[in-house]
Amino acid sequence: MLKAYSYAAAAADKPLGPLEIQRRDVGPNDVRIDILFCGVCHSDLHMARNEWGGSNYPVVPGHEIVGRVAEVGADVSKFKVGDLAGVGCMVDSCRVCASCQEGLEQFCESPESFTQTYNSPDKKSGGFTAGGYSTSIVVDEAFTLSIPGNLELAAVAPLLCAGITTYSPLRHWNVQKGQKVGIVGLGGLGHMGVKIAAAMDAHVVLFTTSPGKIEDAKRLGAHEVVISKDAAQMATHANSFDFILNTVAASHDLDQFMALLKRDGTMTLVGAPEHPHPSPSVMNMIFKRRSLAGSLIGGIAETQEMLDFCGKHGITSDIEMIRMDEINNAHERMLKSDVKYRFVIDMATMEK
């Protein structure tokens, strides 16, 4: 076992604080990564505070991990010591079910589903998995990603969750050059959606309720910005979208966006609301054969494809770097959407 330093929540009502943890010895297929940066995702906060139920304490959050390979097992072929490497939301799955066989590990059909990077039962060392708010992690190479060398490393970290969560639906619904694509919401997810859809040469329209975000959305690559509270402005876009990616996690009226889809258009939801959205109008869907869908992160192969795509197009997240001991304040600010657009922890600041 190898000692690692982490930040953990000891209970739902406790702030995160330093905790020494153990990482398993490197097995034949394992890669040990010295973590350099870890992005801060909303899930981290939900899990630390047990807002979805089922949190197992202590919780060491973090699933937007980048670092350098420090040790590899005897049978590892994809990585060598010194390589850049990343880990996202999954560290293992059953690998034999139909979804795993198709490279869709995020939909693993085994009873326990995939092994989450933190707070999942740890099949290899017992206890529960501990995430990236730590100095190192040991992961099977099958769940370890290669990081393009041309990107700013700290700003790559959020691609491992926010990046793949938006890339996967844009790919799955086959967004093409010249198509009209809407992105709803300009937060951690939305700002990645804008960048990636623009790099796919779509005509990108950002929907926001905040006029203050217009300039920033255009800087990030949006061709148009629509204030979704403005019914007249919304009406000018009726029946015109091929695809809409909705990143908003708060309960809201979906019909106002469904009405903007062309015949056969799809709106895909990637935000998980605490309270349900009002039911969408069935008539609205029937008359234009419109679809409403959901999407969850992406498989490992697709996550690698996304990283390579971002390397090719020079895409990273817009980040605000923080020290490890600033994490509790960062979680508070994230709750108020007071971040442009993702916090990333500089792991060199971890207390040892």
State the residues that interact with Zn ion by CB under 5 A: 41, 43, 93-94, 97, 100, 108, 110, 161
DSSP for 78-89?
S--TT-EEEE-S
CB of 43 to Zn ion, least distance (A): 4
Supply 217's token pair. 């959305």
The residue sitting closest to Zn ion, measured at its beta carbon, is 41
CB of 210 to Zn ion, least distance (A): 23
DSSP for 245-314?
EE---S---SHHHHTTEEEEEEEEE----SSPPPPPPHHHHHTTT-EEEE--S--HHHHHHHHHHHHHHT
Spell out the residues 6+ positions from residue 123 whose beta carbon is closer than 8 angstroms to its own: 92, 115
CB of 44 to Zn ion, least distance (A): 7
CB of 41 to Zn ion, least distance (A): 3
- Signed CA dihedral, 225, 229, 233, 237: sign only: positive
- Rank residues 218 and 340 by Cβ distance to Zn ion and give the closer one: 340
CB of 339 to Zn ion, least distance (A): 14
- Rank residues 59 and 258 by Cβ distance to Zn ion and give the closer one: 59
CB of 105 to Zn ion, least distance (A): 6
Q: How distant, in Å, are the alpha carbons of 239, 252, 253 from that of 279?
A: 20, 10, 8
For the chain, give the number of residues: 352
- Rank residues 104 and 261 by Cβ distance to Zn ion and give the closer one: 104
- Rank residues 41 and 350 by Cβ distance to Zn ion and give the closer one: 41
Distance CA 255, CA 261 (A): 10
Q: How distant, in Å, are the alpha carbons of 151, 171, 223 from that of 158?
A: 12, 18, 23
- Rank residues 100 and 261 by Cβ distance to Zn ion and give the closer one: 100
Distance CA 285, CA 288 (A): 6
CB of 1 to Zn ion, least distance (A): 27
- Rank residues 20 and 112 by Cβ distance to Zn ion and give the closer one: 112
- Rank residues 157 and 292 by Cβ distance to Zn ion and give the closer one: 157
Supply 114's token pair. 């995939």
